[in-house]
Structure 1
Amino acid sequence: MLKVSNMDAYYGQSKVLEDISIEIKDGEFVTIIGANGAGKSTIMKCLMGIHNPSRGSIIYKGEDIAGMNAWERAEHGIGYIPEGRRVFSKMTVEENLLVGAYTVKDKIKIKRNLERCYEIFPRLKERRNQKSKTMSGGEQQMLAISRALMIEPELLLIDEISMGLMPLLVTHSINLIKKLHKEGMTVLLVEQNAKKALEASDRGYVLETGRITMEDSSSLLKENEAVIKAYLGA
């Protein structure tokens, strides 16, 4: 479904990604783990069209999307849950969700997806007319996930879903993503909580200072001594 080859990225004169190559097959759940500042979020921004790589190709379903705008990638079925949730604070819950569906022209589909989000997160339905800035971090994460689901994405990009959440809410969020994956959604999760990410995913990549240093099944990465020492707290 997605193949990234030899991607470099800069912020000004600073090189933050070097020769990144990753591949995600249709229906897979893949994770990229790494320390804070390793470049995980930059990879996601490049995939979504928020940041332009200086080199490399991004092939999605056989088409090079490197030159596409972010909204065009959304139209092609790529959903994005950004780091830090990034809800529109002055908008209500429902307004946030409808913004997530701005590329969808079918009003029946929008209504169906809205009801699906409310079914997944009943609390959002209860607070549909509440301004999102007044909600807790966990509720905002529910909203960020639901907003991405409004386009019925084929590929879901998730940037640091655990950030700022208490452990119980992290587990709840990860379990929801696992459920979406079981229903057929392809998922790429970048995550600092390596233990949770590797438990949920099929395969994983390790990112260190802008370079992929390891790739394997998640089960084998969990048993790798270097991964255990660096990321799993042993």
Structure 2
Amino acid sequence: MTLKNLVFQTYIFKHAWHAIFFAIVFMCLEGCRNRTLKDYGHDVGAIKNEVKSRKIHRVSETEYQQWTANKGLEISRIAQKYLNRAYNKGLETNKVSSAKEFSKLLPLANIDSLAKVYKVDIQPISFERKQVDDLYPVEADYWKKYKSGGTALKPTTEYVENRRKRVFIAPIYLKVAVGMWSIHFDRQNVIQQIVKEREQKKKKRKS
């Protein structure tokens, strides 16, 4: 065998191996490309449900603010009705002598039930309390303003906890102002409820 033939055979052998290698790689890639998540043992249905549950729901800041303001007003009015009934009953049975003692009659069971229904935290804050250190700064600020009469007793909403929550504040009246309601809305809960209400409206339109 001449040197020329040896070089030629080596060249052919080398390129044959290259061709075989690339053919194997190509077949592997084709096989992987045509396989689905199901082929790899994944539960496709579970994955689709997970994606659906994590779908991003867009709620504008204006919508969020308006929703908390409306719901806060609605909740505070219902809570006020519960308190009015308890207060009147307390006067009839001589369990209370003045509106300042309203906290003794506050129907906590009703307030707690109301909070669960609306998925909020309801805080009745009396003007008779001695300290406000455990309140949010904005709550303490309005408590002082309301109590001193420096601010008109109108409902208001403010952000707390770096905008993760929104607080609705409204005065508590028993003939005179005796305290204030502070209703805490969690942003994620609010978004979920807004989305739920949207879906309910869509269903009503279709039906």
The reply to whether TM is greater than 0.5 is no
Could you state the TM-score of these two structures normalised by the residue count of structure 2?
0.25
Please state which structure has a larger fraction of its residues in strand.
Answer: 1
Could you state the TM-score of these two structures normalised by the residue count of structure 1?
0.23
Between 1 and 2, higher relative CO (CA 8 Å, sep ≥ 6) is seen in 1
| Larger Rg belongs to | 2
